Amino acid sequence: MTEKPKTALITGGAKGLGRAVAVALAKEGINVIINYKSSKVEADDVAKRIQNDGGVARTIQFDVADVSQVDAKIKEVSEEVGGIDILVNNAGIIQDGLVLRMDNSSWANVIETNLSGAFFCSRAVLRKMVSNRWGRIINIGSVVGDRGNAGQVNYSASKAGLIGFTKALSKELAARNITVNIVNPGYVETETTSVLTEQQKNQWLSLIPVGRFGESEEIANLVAFLASNKASYITGQVIAIDGGLSV
């Protein structure tokens, strides 16, 4: 009997790393749901690319920081597809600034989206995963969650919080055959790094032993592995993929 294809929800899946993850999972025969907050055109483009390659993809709009939206939309789509098997908590924002100049909203917005959003989405998909006794939750962290970075106390705190969230949740769910891991990318060639000046890029490159930024596809391939049955004995792990930056 052929196994029913798994379904994955990728938050912030319209651009950059999220887009690469959606494409990589689709290549593995996984049906993908691409979440977006405001990037409808980009999300539709990713879905069309996957569909044109023979995959199954759809889009869904909600703000991960709004718990009422998360609960309503995930319940709706979960009922339609028979449950979410794989959740990739990728949605995140950056609102940088030194602490002395950082306003309350810049702190709250980043924490709510990057950390609370992962909690809201994980909680919303878990009942079906627990019932099915199979699931994968993969959180997208950052090297700065481990190292910290001046001017990014809010972002660093949100990603450090994700590490603790991952480890604790993995212990709650391990007996149910649900794994929870966090991938900590270093500097990756995305829209985020494209705004760096040449001086900033060179400064970071000097700290990366392999001497280059990563590519979204490299991160996505790791996520695809963690989402598979091949990674069933890996849980609660913080996996850096940063060219040696965190060594």
Catalytic residue among 36, 155, 187, 233: 155
> If you write DSSP's letter for every residue of 18-71 in order, what string do you get?
HHHHHHHHHHTT-EEEEEESS-HHHHHHHHHHHHHTT--EEEEE--TT-HHHHH
Least Cα distance to 68 among 124, 9, 7 occurs for 124
Where does residue 49 rank: exposed (0-12), middle (13-18), buried (19+ CB within 10 A)? middle
Burial 69-81 (b: 16+ CB within 10 A, else e): ebeebbeebbeeb
Q: Is 187 a catalytic residue?
A: no
Catalytic positions, please? 155
